[in-house]
Amino acid sequence: MDPTVGIPASQWLNEAEEKEIREVIKRYGEDRLAGPIAKAIVARRADTARPALKTTKQLATLVAGVVRRRATRAPVGKNEATRTFQAIRIFLNQELEELTLVLSVAVDKLAVNGRLVVISFHSLEDRIVKEFVARQSGRRAARDPIYGQPVHESPVRLQDLGRVLPTDDETAVNPRARSAVMRVARRLGDDTCAA
């Protein structure tokens, strides 16, 4: 997110081992073609007749070739390289780690009855937010092994107010909203305990 920090994606793609590229695309892009895509990236690096990957267009073309050879189709309106770009961006920017850190800080900064509102655009982000709200609302509290009742160890800091998904009308106007999930929670008083 800050181009002055860390290494550029082009440098990482041209230096990382095939296994690392595959794992990044698989984990952060949730792409079942992570292996063939990583192999194609490494093969492109080894091809001295072609220039190293430096532009997003070069990478998109390479990934599209792999996807088309595998006779699969991306969902309508979605570029074949979307998952690969997402994976590289999340990995290099450490976006999931940043999200995890900011959630706790955000709750600490909220006034009682203040709202925590988080919009995520893919399942990895949404899972982190969902689990965080569940823990902070006591739904994931430790349970007594015999009676199954919540153990009153940690205070309940949030009330889960649910999630909001885009309507068909919203996605018709803004197709990028199709994957958005907005989760909302209310900050409770500090003396509330898990129950």
Instruction: Encode pLDDT of 103-134 as tens digits.
Output: 989 999 999 999 999 999 889 999 999 999 99
pLDDT at 194: 43
Predicted TM-score (pTM) of the model is 0.76
Cβ(112)–Cβ(185) below 8 Å: no
Whether 96 has a pLDDT exceeding 80, the answer reads yes
pLDDT at 80: 83
Alpha-carbon span 75 to 180, nearest angstrom: 16
Q: Residue 97's pLDDT band (boundaries 50, 70, 90)?
A: very high
Q: Residue 154's pLDDT band (boundaries 50, 70, 90)?
A: low
Whether 184 has a pLDDT exceeding 90, the answer reads yes
Whether 99 has a pLDDT exceeding 60, the answer reads yes
* Three-state secondary structure readout of 147-175: CCCECCCCECCEEEEEEECCCHHHHHHCH
